[in-house]
Amino acid sequence: MTTLNNEVTGGVLVLKPSRRIDSSSAKSFEDDASTLLESGPKKVVIDATDLDYISSAGLRVILTTAKKAKAAGGGLTIACAKNNVKEVLAVSGFDNIFGLHDSVAQAIASLGA
């Protein structure tokens, strides 16, 4: 089960999933992220510090969340991914699409916040 912690920092919504985003937790992540996007900032950083695993279902919800953020005039990027998560993001091309940053502060700056 994934817990999705969040905070607003510098006008940016920072989503911090824990443990896994896979087929059993992706729907919950997507619902929570959608609700937060509707009522909060449209620029999103996914802080992957505590994320140990991401499946194709997890990649899909990141893509869906990014599309919603962009449609609302914002954007999405990813910070602090562990090596195994970085590898999945690289193989899928998500590292080039969204960018990977070594810190949340760098990710926030990349969104122009």
Six token digits for residue 52: 């140990």
Mean pLDDT of 62-72: 96
Mean pLDDT of 84-101: 95
Q: Please, what sign has the CA dihedral across residues 99, 36, 59, 2? A: positive
Q: Is the pLDDT of residue 30 over 80?
A: yes
pTM beyond cutoff 0.85: yes
Mean pLDDT of 51-67: 96
Mean pLDDT of 96-109: 96
CB contact at 8 A, 91 and 56 = no
- We report the CATH number of the domain holding residue 77 as 3.30.750.24
Per the structure, the complete domain to which residue 38 belongs is given by 4-110
Q: What value does the mean pLDDT of the chain take?
A: 94
How many folded domains does the chain comprise?
1
